[in-house]
Structure 1
Amino acid sequence: MRILLVDSNSRRACEVQAGLEAAGFQVVAVSADTADLTRLVRESQADVIVCDLDDPSRDALESMRVLNRDEPRPVVVFASRGEPDQIEAALEAGVAAYVVEGLAPARVRPVLEVAIRRFRAFQALRNELDEARATLAERTLIERAKGVLMQRRRLSEGEAYRLMRRWAMDRSQRLVEVARQLLSEHDAK
């Protein structure tokens, strides 16, 4: 597993890197801060980001939020303090695990494994939600297009739907594509 390590303390970063490598992980990059975290992840092709931070700053959390949006990866934060609002902000930024009282070598592997599983489960839910939203948007377009046909041609709902299906089959298009074309023609008039 390829890890990007973020730690502002270079001596501690060396110790953490040694601990991660001893636990069987490959540290592919080390950074002193979270600035441009997305670029670092792309360049290093890291699978997981481990941040050993004394006190995660607002900028660090924003970098994690951008990373979660643009290049989603499991992010594990080991912090020396854990104020409830800080933990909540980190989780909202997409952090998969927030561990207080620093990084202990014996806990590294289980924490990373749990974080990765939690991240994957969350990504699966996010993908399902995106698919459901896309399906709903397509159905809404089809319903609007049926309404236009029903009004223009004085058709029943079933007749409008069958006509759109026939057009879709004749043109080798999806029903939603026919609906988009019909609505764009209607809106142009």
Structure 2
Amino acid sequence: MPRPLSIVLVEPDADRAAEVGDALRAAGEFELHLIHDTNRLARQIQALNPDVVLIDLENPSRDTLEELTLASGALERPVAMFVDRAGEGLSAAAIEAGVSAYVVDGMQPNRLKPILDAAIARFALFQRMRTELAETKRALEERKVIDRAKGMIMKARGINEEQAYALMRKTAMNKNQRMADVAQSLVTAAELLS
């Protein structure tokens, strides 16, 4: 059986926190941690290491928004922010800072579960996109190194591109290494010798 979702609720108002806690308990099984004092917020959230962070503020300033978002680890976990009023450009700043859901008109307990689900799904989507982007960048860098090493082999041995590639592939198989690693070794050695 999977463990319950761990949620940190940043809510300065104790009555409001109790109301949200009741709504979460009614929506499913969650492990809820309350943070009333936003001083040292980053440490508090880091110590709890939750799966999700919910932040409820009346009317945050841009500085408060940035501080809370950085403290909540928006790139590490889904963050849903609930505000009573939207300031100029705050929603765009929140999304840019990594907030998964930015809801104006406050946290309404009956809407909490669907918003929580949407924030988790959106976060998962962006995590996959970040992973794919990192893998694509890595593959592109490896391709550049392989092409550079191939060019060096072609020039040094006076062979064509296909023969240089075959030589690199054979070397990689013989050494039980990846082509990119063989190419990087060649490029590094050439840099040392020049």
TM-score (ref. length: structure 1)? 0.89
Query: Contact between 1:142 and 1:175, CA under 8 Å: does it hold in 2?
Result: yes
Partner of residue 19, structure 1? 23
Structure 1 residues 63 and 52: CA distance shift in structure 2, 3 A: closer
Matching residue's letter, 1:154: G
Partner of residue 48, structure 2? 44
Deviations 1:134-188 (A, max 9, x none): 1111111101111111122222111111111111011000000001100110000
Q: Is 2:113 the counterpart of 1:109?
A: yes
How many residue pairs were aligned?
186
Q: Is 2:58 the counterpart of 1:54?
A: yes
Distance of 1:133 and 1:91 partners within structure 2: 24
Q: What are structure 1's unaligned runs of at least 5 residues? A: none
Moved more, 42-51 or 83-92: 42-51
Partner of residue 8, structure 2? 4
Matching residue's letter, 1:61: E
Distance of 1:77 and 1:99 partners within structure 2: 6
Deviations 1:60-101 (A, max 9, x none): 4244246134xx211100101113400000000111111111
Partner of residue 158, structure 1? 162
Partner of residue 139, structure 1? 143
Partner of residue 74, structure 2? 68
Q: Tell me how far 1:118 sits from its aligned partner.
A: 1.3
Q: Is 2:175 the counterpart of 1:175?
A: no
Distance of 2:56 and 2:29 partners within structure 1: 16
Structure 1 residues 109 and 25: CA distance shift in structure 2, 3 A: same
Partner of residue 152, structure 2? 148
Match of 1:33 among 27, 31, 38: 38
Q: What are structure 2's unaligned runs of at least 5 residues? A: none
Partner of residue 123, structure 2? 119
Query: Contact between 2:8 and 2:33, CA under 8 Å: does it hold in 1?
Result: yes
Distance of 1:100 and 1:178 partners within structure 2: 54
Distance of 1:54 and 1:42 partners within structure 2: 24
**3-state DSSP class of the match of 1:68?**
coil
Distance of 1:161 and 1:167 partners within structure 2: 10
Matching residue's letter, 1:144: R
Distance of 2:186 and 2:67 partners within structure 1: 42
**3-state DSSP class of the match of 2:155?**
helix
Distance of 1:175 and 1:147 partners within structure 2: 14
Q: What percentage of aligned pairs have identical amino acids?
A: 39
Aligned alpha-carbon RMSD (Å): 1.9
